[in-house]
Every structure is written in structure tokens, then in C-alpha cells.
Structure 1
Amino acid sequence: MNQMPSWAALCLRFIIAMFVGVILGSIVQTQFNMAALQSIGVDIPLGLRIVSTREDLIHFGPIYAALFSVGFIISQAFAMLVARRLGKPWLAPLCAIAGATGLWVTFLLVNRVAPMPTLIAATRDTFGLLAMLGTAAIAGLVFGLLNSQTTGRARQPKFLIVVLGMSALALPGYSENLQAQATTAGTVPYHIDTIAEGLEHPWSLAFLPDGRMLVTERPGRLRLLTAQGDTQVASLSGLPPVYASGQAGLFDVLPSPQFEQNQQIFLSYACGNHSANHTCIAYGTLTERGLEEVEEIFRVDPAKRGDAHYGGRLAWLPDGTLIVTLGDGFDYREQAQNLGNHIGSIVRIHPDGSVPDDNPFIGDADTRPEIYSYGHRNIQGLVVDEQNQRLIAHEHGPRGGDELNIITAGANFGWPIATGGLDYTGARITPFNQYPGTIPPLLEWTPSIAPSGMALYTGELFPEWRGDLLVGALVDKEVRRVRLSADATHAEDVESLFGELEERIRDVRVGPEGAIYLLTDNPEGRVLKVTPSQ
């Protein structure tokens, strides 16, 4: 009778097979990512393709190995247990089938719990998913063939117990007012007060001419506060239906430039359902208790699946047109280069939703006429600098590559052809940090700070900060003060502010009196007011 291989030999065979699966999987995902770029016309020389493949083996490989190993351990133990009953000739094919099945289940579980819709970009379409599963099947086949000549019966159950224990060890890897005084290098002393609390993931704040405040809450509520922060109406009625899930929900609120005459406010929000949703824009007339005469004026076309990357910031240009920032939907990143849809773009419309005659792509039959700029990932910070006549925006990168840009009409800002960031798995999204025909950022944050709301400080209370940008940072839990050069060709991240709060900052606004207002992104979020220390 053939003897069961020693545990050292068995483990060595397992490691060899897993190594094969990880190497093949990394190579396959790199080629699918490169192919997606080539499908939108990006030229990738062979040398860059080889470099990207090598870099992914270094950076993506270890993360993928952690994901791959759990399903592979369990699936191969199960295959060996079944082969013990069916006979050794079944071992190799069973291990191959089990390898593919184990990876498929791993992808399902990881995509369910991860904040992004699809963790590994190569699996966004069926062909890519099948190719990745094929690499796991090959790894399982290797493991089965290596053991087919030496597999005995006596210790199979013990092997099952051991590998299940190994998988169990691997699993944990997945998964009153506040007053503050701060004086740091280059920072003026300030004082922070909580003026409103108990808001569920507040997203945006806007001031009405009489000093009252409107605050959106991501689940779909619009709260009206007094100038002192007391709740006047906890949830205004009449809002359009909001799809709230993950990053989807109610986003920005923006009063009309003629609010005192028409009482209109504009809202951005996610509409639809998980299978088909959009970023939508509507306006309505504000009354004492809610909105009336609500009308949708714009929605992103086409619909997308998932609940990530909507953009959603609003701003008025001096000519009275409305700027709307949009996201790439995460799984649709290549569509940010497709002018035939709105995904991953900034659009410019009139307040009634009609298209301005001087938009940059008017007259192009293959381009959506609302598009003002494109090649964006997920813009959640927007400022109109009227004094210098410029539109400033920042956008989220993945792992790094957050960008600050001055937006020019008709420009391509590069996503996903050019970025300084890696995917969340460590994989290369593109071989290019810059690419001909695209606009490089003025400032890039790597690693990512996850920029959120942004304000241009123009008040009198903090003269040292006048003219600077205040950028909320979700990951870093602070506000970054950024200064543009005189010629606006580059920007400098000057300092970090309000880090003592240790809270995700979702929005930053400058109040009519020059104070700075912050929204904290929590289930029990707050409105904070920052004033100089006395």
C-alpha cells in the first residue's frame, strides 16, 4: 500500500500549487487591466506591460495570496476527502474543480463585505472572472497531480482538520460641546464648538440668506437648522425618492442664486435601485415644512449597477449655470473616457436642466452635450473662485492618486489612463502617471487622504488662511489647508487642521460671518463651528 506522504512533503506540494495559482492569477488580472485600457485606445508598449506585470507580482501578489489561500485550503481538503471515497483517479479533476469553486466563493464573499463593488478589477466581466477561476483550477490540478501517486487513506481526516485550522487562523485577516485649543507650527489658535448633533451621516451644508442652514443626511433627509444650530425641521417633506445604500444617498444641497426671489433649492442624490441607479439633480421650492413643486432636471445616463462613486457636488458659475460633478461608478472606470455617456465627468447645465449653447462639446453628435470635462474618478470637492475666475475640484484616487485640479472646459483629466494611485488590491490600474492629451493634477495625495468637501476661505476671522483651500479628509480625519501658487500651476499642502477631533470630515464650509463649519461623517454626525480663540 502506498504510504501517505509526510506532512512536510504534503505542505510543500500545497505551497507549490498555491504559488502556481497566485502567479497565474496575478498575471491574468494584469493582462485584463491592460486590455481594458487598450479597448479605449491606450497604447501600451510591451516593455511597460512587462513592468506592470512584474510590479503586480510584487504588490498585488501578496494580497491576492491572502485571498486565494483560504478558499484553496478548504477546497483542496474537501477534494481530498471526496477522492478518498471515489478513488485516486478522481483526485486531480476533483482538486481542479474544487480550486475554481473555492476561488469563486471567495470572490462572492469578499465582494459582499468589501466597500467597493468588485475588489479585483479583472473579475468585473464574465470572461475575466472565468479566466481567474481557470488559474485556480490549474493550481488545484497541480496539487492533485502532485499527490495522485502518493495519496493514502489513513491520515486524510487529520489533514482535513489541520487545513481547516489553518484557514480559521487566516480568516481574521479579512475582515455636549467639544472645545479644542490648537497651536501648531503655522496654525492660528482656534476654538471648536458643536452646534448641532445627532445627524445620520451628514453630507453637505448650505447657508440661506437669513443665516439658517440646510444639512443633508445621506439616508435621504434634509434638515433645517436655525442660525444658531437648533433644529427647526428635522426632516423636510417633499424630497424626491432617494436610493440609499453604501455610498449612495442624498448628497449636496445648493440654494438658487435668486433664492430670495424664488425660494428654490437644488439637490443631488442617488436615484433608482441597486441594479440600475443614477446620480440625479432636482430642485424644489422651500416652504416652512418642506419642498414643493419638486422637479428632476438631470440624471446620469446610462444607469449603473452597485452603490459606489456618484460624485454629487454642485456649484454655480458666475454666469448662472450649474456645475455637477459625477463619479465613475467604480466598476465602470473606463467609461470615464467615453464622451457618449455622463459617467466620470463634470456636467454644466442651466437651472432648468437645458444645455448651455457654449458647452465645449456642443455640435458633436457622439458626445453628451452636458459634458464640461471628463476623465474623472469621483469628485466630491468643488469650489468656484470668482475672484480669479477658476473652477477648482478634487477627486478621490484609489490607494493614492487623490488629485486637485483646476477644471478647464473640454479637458481630459486622465482617469483611468493616468493616475498615481494603485488599486485597493495593490494592482496597477495603468502603467502611466501622465499621458499625452490628459491634464496632470496640480497636487496629488499619495497615500490617499480621501478628500471630501472643500471650501475657499475668503472670510475675515482667519486672515492667515485667506485665499487658501480647506479640504476635508475622511481617511486622515482632519482638514488640509492647501495654497495655490500665484500662477495656479501647482499647489502646496501647507498643514493639517482639526486632527484632534479624530473624526471623518465630510464637508467644509465658510459661514457668512467668516467662521468655518465642519460636518462629521458618523452615524451620530455633528455640525461644528470653528472660530478664533480669544
Structure 2
Amino acid sequence: MKQLLPFSILLFICFSSCAQQTPSNVIAEDPTEINYTTEIIVPELDIPWGMEFLPDGSMLITEKAGTLIHFRDGTKTNIEGLPEIYVRGQGGLMDIKLHPDYETNGWIYFSYASAEGDGDGGNTAIMRAKLQGNTLIDLEQLYKGVPNTKKGQHWGSRLEFDNDGYLYFSIGDRGNRDVNPQDITRDCGKIYRLNDDGSIPTDNPFFDTSEAKKAIFSYGHRNPQGMIRNPETGKIWIHEHGPKGGDEINVIEKGKNYGWPVISYGINYSGTSFTEITHKEGMEQPLFYWVPSIAPCGMAFVNSDKYPDWNGNLLVGSLKFSYLECLVLENNEVVKREKLFEGLGRFRNVKLAPDGYIYAAVEGTGILKIVPKSN
């Protein structure tokens, strides 16, 4: 039986320092209550990293510890046939995405930490496969970041398709901020673009650059754990973790440098500074940034008649503060922040499903469905 979990919702009010630390167009208003609550749809999950909805309404869910779950008719079934998952720190089995033409070709894409290749440790890999019964078949590794490292942080990794069928994915800087993000001859700290079969588009920005990683689409990133296609513009939007402050939302453009770690609105976790500048010629400014950091994870544009209060806005999960944030957008600019379901738990993912409802993955709880309150 589904459990109904009502939570009062408070409008997010910017702190007194907000006007100095975040874009000045963020508007604070009086607290108000909204008209939605949550139901637990898939209970008893630890760290549900990714989720995707199959055409029959069932759900595929990745657990970071290395389990792929098929949830159908109230039952969780573990899917066999995964590659070996290297579970370390923030890495494990991560995002999952269906091919846009899944009903015809059956391809399922997922990202995971892999120890394959030279050297100790691992790095982020992208694979596709098909589902036959409760088993993955026809596995094809499409990309594997190098080098391997035993560091446990900043694996990325989200997956998204654009309107032209290209596959985008992220790999974080893997804890090597002073080398990887600004060097296009190295993996890590990048957004990548592939054809759906794993081949590299010849019009990628560095395809003809000597020694460059030809799959790179943009660079200068820290640890992007949110990625979504804007349904109105078709652009790929990401958000990425800053250090202590400086989480960012960026609209990804071909060949652009997003600045990490040369420019940033954050500081070291110790409180010391690692850069004195927030702007530099040839480096992109974020569409929005958070100070203090909320540790964003997962994101979804709201485009559904089931949520008239939120339509056209962006939802972002907060790991650090355990809430779901609604960013009110006007002309692709953030004008207001709303804090939703505060105290519910660490929001790992949020997704607008084909049924028009919003689903959220909360660590230690499971998959929640956001529904209108009963009158």
C-alpha cells in the first residue's frame, strides 16, 4: 500500500547575504504553503542514483552500490548481467537513460565506475545494453575515462540526449582540479558528446585538434551531477558542485570553457581561497550560482498540467540541505528560489515522467511521487 507523507512547504527566503553572493534578480517573498505532497512509490532504497521509465509504466532504478532494479506492479526485481561495478567513494552504478527511440531499438544507456584499463582505481564509463527478461544483453562499452585513480570523488555522471539524438554525459574532475578540467588532451572535468552508437561526431569542437580527446564537447567543469535538455530551447543544461559555495547552473555550448578552477564563486572547504577571480575572458559565466553550496543533484524542467504552480520552472535536488529546490525562471533567468519538502532527505534525483508526474529519489527512503493534495 502506498504511504502518504504530507509535508508543509515553505518558500525559500534568501539569507541576508544573498544579494551579495547570488545574482541580484533573486526575489524573496513571504513564506507560503503549496498544494502538493508526496507518496512513496518504491520503498527501501539506499542511494537511488538514476531512474528511468519504461513504456509499460515500470521503472528502472540504479542503486549506487551496484544494483539495477526493475520495479513493476509493486515488486522489485534485480537485473542480471551488469558489468563489474567499481564502488568507491562517490562512484558506483550511476545514471540510466533510454534511447529516444527505445520502443524500436531497445537500447538502455548507463554510467558507472569502472576499474577496466591500466592503473589502480577506476574512472567513469558509459555503456549501452538491451533488456531481455531480467537480464542485460548485447552490452557495449561506449566510453571509458582515463586514467584510473583511487580517488573517490567527482565521477559525474549524468546522461542526456538532445533533439538530434546525440548522447551527452559528464565526468567530474576526479579530484585533480589543477590538471584535468582545463586540459582538453585529458579526460575528466568535461561534458562529452557521442553518437548513439558510441562513435564520435566529426563536428565535435576538438575532433580535428591534435592530441585532444575528440569526444569532449565543453570543458572546465568540476562535478556535474545534473543534466537535462531544455524542452523549449533544446539546449543541454547542467548543474555542477562547487567546493564551499559556487555550485553552478550552466547552459552547455559547443567548445566553451566553463572556467573551473580558474574562476569560481567558491572557496576551499578549509575556508581558504584557491582563486581570486570570478570572471575571465574566454571563460563562461554560469546562468546561476549558489552561495552557500546546496550540493545539487538531479534536475528536471516542469512541463505538465499537473503542476500549474511550477510550470516552466526548474527543480533541483539538494544533498546538503535535504530539500527539493524550485528555481522560478523568466526568460531563462532565475528570478526566485523556493524550498520544497524540507527535511525529507537527501534528494539524489528528480524526473518528470511520461505520465506527467514528478518523481524524486531520496536517499534512505526510495522513489517518491509528487501529487496534488486532496481537497
Could you state the TM-score of these two structures normalised by the residue count of structure 1? 0.64
Determine helix, strand or coil for the equivalent of 2:70: strand
The one-letter code of the counterpart of 2:197 is: D
1:254 corresponds to = 97
The whole-number CA distance in structure 2 between the counterparts of 1:186 and 1:408 is 37
1:69-218 paired onto structure 2 within 5 Å: 177-182=3-8, 184=10, 185=31, 188-218=34-64
Which of 323, 333, 344 aligns to 2:189? It is 344
CA pair 187-373 structure 1, distance change in 2 beyond 3 A? farther
CA pair 364-257 structure 1, distance change in 2 beyond 3 A? same
Is the Cα–Cα contact under 8 Å of residues 316 and 350 in structure 2 kept in the other structure?
yes
Question: Cα offset for 1:340?
Answer: 0.3
The one-letter code of the counterpart of 1:238 is: G
Determine helix, strand or coil for the equivalent of 1:244: coil
1:316 corresponds to = 161
1:380 corresponds to = 225
Determine helix, strand or coil for the equivalent of 1:464: coil
Which of 366, 369, 375 aligns to 1:526? It is 366
2:132 corresponds to = 287
The whole-number CA distance in structure 2 between the counterparts of 1:449 and 1:493 is 15
CA pair 333-199 structure 1, distance change in 2 beyond 3 A? farther
1:470 maps onto 2:296 in alignment: no
Could you state the TM-score of these two structures normalised by the residue count of structure 2? 0.90
- Structure with more of its chain in helix, by fraction: 1
Question: Cα offset for 1:417?
Answer: 0.2
Encode CA deviations 1:141-190: one digit per residue, 9 max, x unaligned: xxxxxxxxxxxxxxxxxxxxxxxxxxxxxxxxxxx724214354455311
Determine helix, strand or coil for the equivalent of 1:380: strand
Which of 507, 510, 514 aligns to 2:349? It is 507
1:267 corresponds to = 110
The whole-number CA distance in structure 1 between the counterparts of 2:110 and 2:259 is 28
CA root-mean-square deviation? 1.6
The whole-number CA distance in structure 2 between the counterparts of 1:440 and 1:331 is 22
Is the Cα–Cα contact under 8 Å of residues 188 and 532 in structure 1 kept in the other structure?
no
1:245 corresponds to = 88
2:262 corresponds to = 417
Query: Unaligned stretches of 5+ in structure 1?
Result: 1-175
Encode CA deviations 1:296-349: one digit per residue, 9 max, x unaligned: 110112323311101010000111110011100113443100000121000000
1:491 maps onto 2:334 in alignment: yes
Encode CA deviations 1:400-420: one digit per residue, 9 max, x unaligned: 000011111111000000001
1:297-336 paired onto structure 2 within 5 Å: 297-336=142-181
Is the Cα–Cα contact under 8 Å of residues 223 and 231 in structure 1 kept in the other structure?
no
The one-letter code of the counterpart of 2:112 is: Y
CA pair 361-484 structure 1, distance change in 2 beyond 3 A? farther
Question: Cα offset for 1:431?
Answer: 1.2
The whole-number CA distance in structure 2 between the counterparts of 1:507 and 1:350 is 25
1:25 corresponds to = none
Determine helix, strand or coil for the equivalent of 2:3: coil
The whole-number CA distance in structure 1 between the counterparts of 2:256 and 2:330 is 21
The whole-number CA distance in structure 2 between the counterparts of 1:475 and 1:500 is 11
1:231 maps onto 2:75 in alignment: yes
Question: Cα offset for 1:465?
Answer: 0.8
Is the Cα–Cα contact under 8 Å of residues 443 and 492 in structure 1 kept in the other structure?
no
The whole-number CA distance in structure 1 between the counterparts of 2:92 and 2:206 is 30
The whole-number CA distance in structure 2 between the counterparts of 1:530 and 1:325 is 27
Question: Cα offset for 1:372?
Answer: 0.4
The whole-number CA distance in structure 2 between the counterparts of 1:376 and 1:496 is 26
The whole-number CA distance in structure 2 between the counterparts of 1:531 and 1:178 is 10
Higher relative contact order (CA 8 A, sep 6+): 2
Query: Unaligned stretches of 5+ in structure 2?
Result: 11-30
- Aligned residues: percent identity? 36
Is the Cα–Cα contact under 8 Å of residues 518 and 528 in structure 1 kept in the other structure?
yes
Encode CA deviations 1:224-250: one digit per residue, 9 max, x unaligned: 012x5x2241x1000111101210100
CA pair 499-386 structure 1, distance change in 2 beyond 3 A? same
Determine helix, strand or coil for the equivalent of 2:275: coil
The whole-number CA distance in structure 1 between the counterparts of 2:126 and 2:138 is 14
The whole-number CA distance in structure 1 between the counterparts of 2:223 and 2:133 is 34
Determine helix, strand or coil for the equivalent of 1:293: strand
Deviates further, 252-261 or 183-192: 183-192
1:433 corresponds to = 278
The whole-number CA distance in structure 2 between the counterparts of 1:324 and 1:393 is 10
- Structure with more of its chain in strand, by fraction: 2
Determine helix, strand or coil for the equivalent of 1:247: coil
Determine helix, strand or coil for the equivalent of 1:261: helix
Question: Cα offset for 1:272?
Answer: 0.5
> Which structure's CA Rg is the greater one?
1
The whole-number CA distance in structure 2 between the counterparts of 1:363 and 1:331 is 26
Deviates further, 405-414 or 273-282: 273-282
Determine helix, strand or coil for the equivalent of 1:260: helix
1:136 corresponds to = none
2:26 corresponds to = none
The whole-number CA distance in structure 1 between the counterparts of 2:142 and 2:35 is 44
The whole-number CA distance in structure 1 between the counterparts of 2:162 and 2:179 is 28
Question: Cα offset for 1:288?
Answer: 1.5
The whole-number CA distance in structure 1 between the counterparts of 2:203 and 2:373 is 47
The whole-number CA distance in structure 1 between the counterparts of 2:363 and 2:84 is 22
The one-letter code of the counterpart of 2:353 is: G
Deviates further, 191-200 or 393-402: 191-200
Is the Cα–Cα contact under 8 Å of residues 215 and 222 in structure 1 kept in the other structure?
yes
The one-letter code of the counterpart of 1:264 is: W
Is the Cα–Cα contact under 8 Å of residues 333 and 377 in structure 1 kept in the other structure?
no
Deviates further, 368-377 or 458-467: 458-467
The count of aligned residue pairs is: 351
CA pair 186-372 structure 1, distance change in 2 beyond 3 A? farther
Determine helix, strand or coil for the equivalent of 2:159: strand
Encode CA deviations 1:375-406: one digit per residue, 9 max, x unaligned: 00000001101321211110000100000111
